[in-house]
Amino acid sequence: MRAKEFINYLTAEGFNVYPDAYFMPDVEESQLPALFVFGTSSGESDDDLPIQYPTFQVIVKGKNYKSDFTQMDQTEQLAKRLIRQLDNKIGYEIGNNHVYHSKAMQSSPIPIGIDTMDRPVFSTNFRFKIQPYKEEE
């Protein structure tokens, strides 16, 4: 599963996701809160079945909390919503892949702190058990 497929899935599910994977630029306050997707090292593929185990880190960044003291909590709530959405989800499609199972690697988001513009940042991590569909030639 490609990161772009995961981004498209999250966007379709109603999350505001930065459209490019592996990149977290300084964005305008009006573009936040937003998710940023990074593929991470994954487990090896299955020896006997066409199954893969990709993993992704999703960074959740909120708006400036000094301007709005509720932003830290709102950003954490958004990260928790993402975890609830994907944790133990069974039998669905992401891009050109059948997802047998997705699992959050933490039950709560990891607080990273604030960025240089006083915006809260949380990390979430997910692993998937997928079977890619054969691509048409």
What is the secondary structure of 108-123 as a DSSP string? SPEEEEE-TTS-EEEE
Instruction: State the pLDDT at residue 94.
Output: 97
Instruction: State the pLDDT at residue 132.
Output: 93
Residue 122 · residue 112 · CB < 8 Å: yes
Instruction: State the pLDDT at residue 50.
Output: 86
Separation between Cα atoms, residue 71 and residue 64, nearest integer Å: 7
Class of domain 3-132: alpha beta
Q: H/E element holding 34?
A: strand 34-43
Instruction: State the pLDDT at residue 135.
Output: 62
The pTM (predicted TM-score) of the whole model is: 0.92
Instruction: State the pLDDT at residue 75.
Output: 98
Instruction: State the pLDDT at residue 120.
Output: 97
Instruction: State the pLDDT at residue 41.
Output: 78
Which residue stretches of the chain have pLDDT < 70?
Answer: 135-137
Domain extent listing, the chain: 3-132
Q: What mean pLDDT is reported for the chain? A: 94
Residue 6 · residue 94 · CB < 8 Å: yes
